[in-house]
Chains A and B, each alone.
Chain A
Amino acid sequence: MPDIQTQGTEEVHPDVLLVNRAREGDVQAFEKLVKQYDRQVFRIAQHITQNREDAEDVVQDSFLKAYEKLDQFQGNSKFYTWLVRIAVNEALMRLRKRRTGRMVSIDEDVETEEGSMPRDLADWGPDPEQQYSQSELAEILRKTIQGLPPGFRVVFVLRDVEGLSTEETAETLGLSVPAVKSRLLRARLQLRERLSRYFRKDKRNGGAK
Chain B
Amino acid sequence: MTCTEFIALLDDLMDDRVSAALRAELEEHLRGCEHCVVTLNTTRKTIEIYRSHELYELPNDLRSRLHKAILAKCKKC
Which residues of chain A have a CB within 8 Å of any CB of chain B? Answer: 27, 30-31, 34-35, 38-39, 42-43, 46-47, 55-56, 59-60, 63-64, 67-68, 116-118, 121-124, 128-129, 137-138, 141-142, 145, 156, 160-161, 163, 166, 181, 184-185, 188-189, 191-192, 195-196, 199, 208
Contact = CB atoms under 8 A, between A and B. Distances in A.
Interface residues of B, number: 36
Contact of A196 (B11, B42, B50, B51): B42
Nearest to B59: A42
Contact of A34 (B8, B39, B70): B70
Contacts of B34: 208
B19 interface: no
Contact of A138 (B43, B51, B55): B55
A191 B51 CA distance: 13
Contacts of B10: 185, 188-189
Interface string B20-47: 0000000000000011001101110111
B62 A191 contact: no
Contacts, number: 108
25 contacts: A30-B71, A34-B71, A38-B63, A43-B56, A59-B66, A59-B70, A64-B70, A117-B4, A121-B35, A124-B45, A128-B45, A129-B49, A141-B49, A141-B50, A166-B15, A181-B11, A185-B11, A188-B10, A188-B11, A189-B10, A189-B39, A189-B43, A192-B46, A195-B46, A199-B45
